[in-house]
Amino acid sequence: MGKNTKSAAQAAAEQAAPATTTRLDGGKLETPATKGLSQGEKVNYIAAIQTERAFMMQNVENPSQSMIDGFTLLAQATILDVAVGEIATGRSVVGNIITANENNYKALQAMALERGIKLPEYKALPAPTEEQLKIHGLLDIKPADAKVLNVEASNVSDRAIEQKKKEIAAVAKAVDNPAEIKTKEQLKASLTAMLVKPITDGIDRPDARVQRTIKFYRGYLTIQANAAEDKKTALEEMKAKTRQDMLNEIAEIVGPCPFSLNGTAYFLRKRAIETGSPISAFCLYRRSAVPEKDNAIDDSYVADITRILLLWSCNSRIAECNSILKEQKKHVENETGAAKAATEAAIRYNEAAIEEMKQVIEWVNNPTFDIVDSLVEDYNAEDQESEKCKLAHRIVSNIMSTYYPEIDIKKADKDSMLKNVQQRAGIIINMFRGPLAQSISYAEGNLTDIIVSEEENGGE
């Protein structure tokens, strides 16, 4: 793309909101640092994310899985957050979502349902107009091959709207300077705001918001320590807190996992449930993480955030299901016939959801090395359709696209690839286990270069 050529996202954002400065430059959202995004600007922001991703898919040769997952995760989580925010504040229905992929829409639909948003079936969605496609930068898609979704108030449960209203109220009470916090209520509101407010002077990703929140909380703790009677001891205790300690404390203070982070957490939980380990969830989060200035990513940091988001969202989901169950069990006693059967089915659904969340918590807190130890054997299994073989191939694909996105699996030497992937998988599991429960069989020092040939040699 030439220096003076605008991307589809830039053109769409400018056309949709000529009065604002919202735009994407190389994936970075730029707005005035002193001004937060209005609901309208957030709609434009979403349009920019969608069209930037579409432009990338159409014009970037062999886009990495990191790029694809990053844009998809951010767009889907933000879309629902903005939609419910618009409805909670009594404003007009947000702009439409255009999709040409039924499987992607089903993933969005499933995530939405868990968050109290019932979206129409894919086949029931209307086709977009040519003008809508043009605005979204989807110039190579025909109206007949796409769908439009408008998230309306009738789609959203009272529970979801109430949660969003509480977050909006928290943002209104929040302060940007930790030195101004005088009460526990102010601290809770400010930490919530740090997690849910879009980042307007950098890349807005879930981990960027978490990093911002940790920085804010560290500032607050430092101020409190400096004001303590025993300042030296208080400062030492504060400095001894690990990142995980602070994330745990933030979750405890904020309460239920914020609505906007729940979308990200849903995808992480889904990977854990599908694979029975935190490996794929870790990989997904790492691929959507914002690199440091040296373009590096701290894996232990990613593991900490992945762990906290999984545990936080699971515990929030359990509390939510228990609250719903309490009401359902109270009503079912007075029901008969079809109504009773429907409520009993709903009770079973929520009870199953609780057990599923408990299982994810166990996988996060006490992951085993079983899937890692047998990875090479399972990958090469004679029965390539077995569940173990499919899972091994999925883990390999996840780790390769996360750590070696520049390598074509089909051109990689299978033995050297599997050796390194197995080590990476074991290293990830170690990060989710206590120091005394880690395996010395898996370590950074055991990694080697993956041999790659110019011709396909059956790496996949």
96 band by pLDDT with thresholds 50, 70 and 90: low
Q: Pick the residue with more confidence: 30 or 89?
A: 89
Question: What number is the average pLDDT over the span 368-397?
Answer: 95
Better-predicted residue by pLDDT, 278 or 83 = 278
Name the residue with higher pLDDT: 458 or 76: 76
Q: Is the pTM of this model over 0.95?
A: no
What does the H/E/C string look like for 94-115? CCCEEECCHHHHHHHHHHHHHC
Q: pLDDT tens for residues 260-273?
A: 788 888 889 999 99
Mean pLDDT for the chain overall: 80
Q: Convert the pLDDT of each residue in 298-320 to its tens digit.
A: 899 899 989 999 999 999 999 99
Please check the confidence at residue 180 and state whether its pLDDT lies above 60: yes
Which has more pLDDT, 259 or 9? 259
* Helix, strand, coil abundance in the chain, percent, nearest 5: 65, 5, 30
Q: Write out the H or E segment, with its range, that includes residue 18.
A: none
Average pLDDT over residues 419-428: 98
What's the mean pLDDT in 101-126?
Answer: 84
DSSP 311-364: HHHHHHHHHHHHHHHHHHHHHHTT--HHHHHHHHHHHHHHHHHHHHHHHHHHHH
Region 30-51: mean pLDDT is 45
Give residue 207's identity as a one-letter amino acid code.
D
CA nearest to 289, candidates 403, 196, 207, 200 = 207
pLDDT at 151: 81
For residue range 204-244, what is the model confidence (pLDDT) as tens digits?
677 788 889 999 999 999 999 999 999 999 999 999 998 88
Query: Which has more confidence, 410 or 69?
Result: 410
CA dist 203 and 288 (Å) reads 11
Task: Read off the pLDDT of each residue in 402-410 and give the average, rounded to a whole number.
Answer: 89
